[in-house]
Amino acid sequence: MNHGPFLYRLAREADIPALQALIPLSVRGLQAAFYTQEQMEGALGTVFGVDSQLIRDRTYLVAETQEGQLVGCGGWSKRKTAYGSDRAKSGDDPLRDPATEPAMIRAFFVHPDFARRGIGRSIMAWCETEAREAGFTATEIVATLAGEPLYATFHFVVVESFSITLANGAHLPVVRMRKRP
């Protein structure tokens, strides 16, 4: 799908190297006003990283420039995992029950040079439509403090604030946000 100057498509396994390059750029460039260097570095690779299950489930979208540069990504999940990358998982990632559990909005990252150009909003609109078509009546996200304002514009409300303990001992403050239709 095209929206403005960007092309949006489902992510492919072949995109993983580009995603692995984009995520640290996004985190270091857009999260620095909210988190310390220690928090960002501690979260990279585990909290902030590629979850290839989203790609296999065909619930992860990438945004590209007309020249093919990957500049944004994000998706939704029908699985139990609420956040994190492949490196943070252990064991199975079972499916959620759309009748009783929310779909999870997951892993949004935008290249700092392309921030505030509607990439996150376009991906979010796609996620909500796809999750609804899959039978989910509620959506939830574990949002960074930097992401909270975007999700609030989509009428998500904070239901819990907490911190994720990182491998380096730092703590990453986040908010769980929820939306019902």
Q: Is 128 helix (H, G, I), strand (E, B) or coil?
A: helix
Q: Does residue 48 surpass a pLDDT of 70?
A: yes
Q: Per the structure block, which two tokens stand in for 17?
A: 């190297």
Q: Which residues pair with 64 in a beta bridge?
A: 7, 70
pTM of the entire predicted model: 0.93
- pLDDT tens digit string along 88-146? 666 778 899 999 999 999 999 999 999 999 999 999 999 999 999 999 999 999 999 99
Diameter over CA atoms, the chain = 42
Query: What domain count does the chain have?
Result: 1
Mean pLDDT value across the chain = 93
Instruction: Give pLDDT, residue 87.
Output: 73
- Categorize the per-residue pLDDT at 39 as very low, low, confident or very high, splitting at 50, 70 and 90: very high
Mean pLDDT to the nearest integer, 167-180: 94
Q: Which residue has the tokens 């040079």?
A: 113
Are the beta carbons of 64 and 71 closer than 8 angstroms? yes
DSSP string, 49-71: S--HHHHHTT-EEEEE-TT--EE
What is the percent of the chain with per-residue pLDDT over 90, rounded to a whole number?
Answer: 86
CATH number assigned to the domain comprising residue 66: 3.40.630.30
- Name the CA radius of gyration of the chain, rounded: 15
Range of the domain at 92: 2-179
Q: Does residue 36 surpass a pLDDT of 90?
A: yes
State the virtual CA torsion across 150, 25, 139, 120 in degrees, nearest 10.
50
